[in-house]
Amino acid sequence: MAVDGTWKLTIDTPMGVQESTLTLATSGNQLTGTQTAPNGGSKAIEEGSVDGHDVSWEASISKPMPITLKFSGTVEGDKISGKVKLGMFGSASFTGTRA
């Protein structure tokens, strides 16, 4: 599937640019993987799904505060982009490239 692989993400948040590494694998319409922050925190993604080139998943973080990030985006070749809901902090855009 065009989504499988390791991605370097950049999220433009109200607290500044945040980077993470996302590793994705597909099985049918199911999307699984892990998202790792630069501080070393790594967690499995949840609620992952894929529909063609459209993807969505959730990632729970604990720093700087506990929150569940809800991602939705589109993969085009070796690029991914979309929006992420930041709980009570609204939403932000993200971009990424396949590593």
Is the peptide bond between 66 and the residue preceding it cis, with omega within 30 degrees of 0?
Answer: no
Q: How confident is the model at residue 96 (pLDDT cuts 50, 70, 90)?
A: very high
3-state secondary structure of 28: coil
Q: Could you tell me what percentage of the chain is helix, strand and coil, using 3-state DSSP and rounding each to the nearest 5?
A: 5, 70, 25
In terms of pTM, does the model score above 0.85? Answer: yes
**Number of structural domains in the chain:** 1
Residue range 14-59, pLDDT digits in tens: 888 989 999 999 999 999 999 998 766 789 999 999 999 999 999 9
Indicate if the pLDDT at residue 95 is higher than 60. yes
- For position 60, what pLDDT does the model report? 87
Q: Provide the domain limits for residue 82.
A: 5-98
Residue range 68-78, pLDDT digits in tens: 999 999 999 99
CATH classification at residue 65: 2.40.128.120
Compute the mean pLDDT over every residue in the chain, rounded to the nearest whole number.
91
